[in-house]
């Protein structure tokens, strides 16, 4: 399998994992809920869409650095929303170490892990 197909397959797997986390009640989405989960120390990973505003990315990157929570930019707002069965989402917070580990492993294989605090 060539690299492009491998990357797309891994991206699909990450999005599926986010959908499973949503159904399991282990994911918060939207800026307000993501921020709330970071500040309550429940977030185990924060994902911000690559097409979110620079201000949004900076806000969550800084919060995650302060609270020592892993942070990544991944996918688009439309794809993140679709993966969890909602409208577009600029930010998500995973609330489960198992899902976080699975997602980060796949993102590392893609090389899509842009930043981690």
pLDDT, tens digit, 9 for 90 and up, residues 44-55: 999 999 999 999
Q: What distance in Å separates the CA atoms of residue 10 and residue 86, rounded to the nearest whole number?
A: 21
**pLDDT, tens digit (0-9, with 9 covering 90-100), for 49-106:** 999 999 999 999 999 999 999 999 999 999 999 999 999 999 999 999 999 999 999 9
Distance of CA 104 to the CA centre of its chain: 9
Is 92 within 8 Å of 18 (Cβ atoms)? yes
Tokens of 59: 């806000």
**pTM beyond 0.85, yes or no:** yes
Considering only CA atoms, which of 99, 77, 116, 105 is closest in space to residue 23?
A: 99
């Amino acid at each position: 399998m060539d690299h492009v197909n491998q990357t797309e397959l891994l991206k699909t797997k990450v999005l599926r994992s986010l959908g499973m986390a949503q159904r399991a009640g282990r994911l918060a989405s939207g800026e307000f809920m993501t921020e709330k989960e970071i500040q309550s120390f429940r977030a185990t990973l924060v994902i911000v869409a690559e097409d979110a505003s620079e201000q949004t990315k900076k806000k969550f990157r800084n919060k995650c650095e302060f609270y020592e929570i892993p942070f990544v930019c991944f996918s688009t707002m439309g794809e993140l929303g679709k993966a969890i069965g909602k409208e577009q989402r600029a930010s998500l917070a995973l609330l489960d170490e198992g899902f976080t580990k699975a997602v980060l492993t796949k993102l590392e294989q893609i090389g899509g892990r842009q930043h981690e605090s």
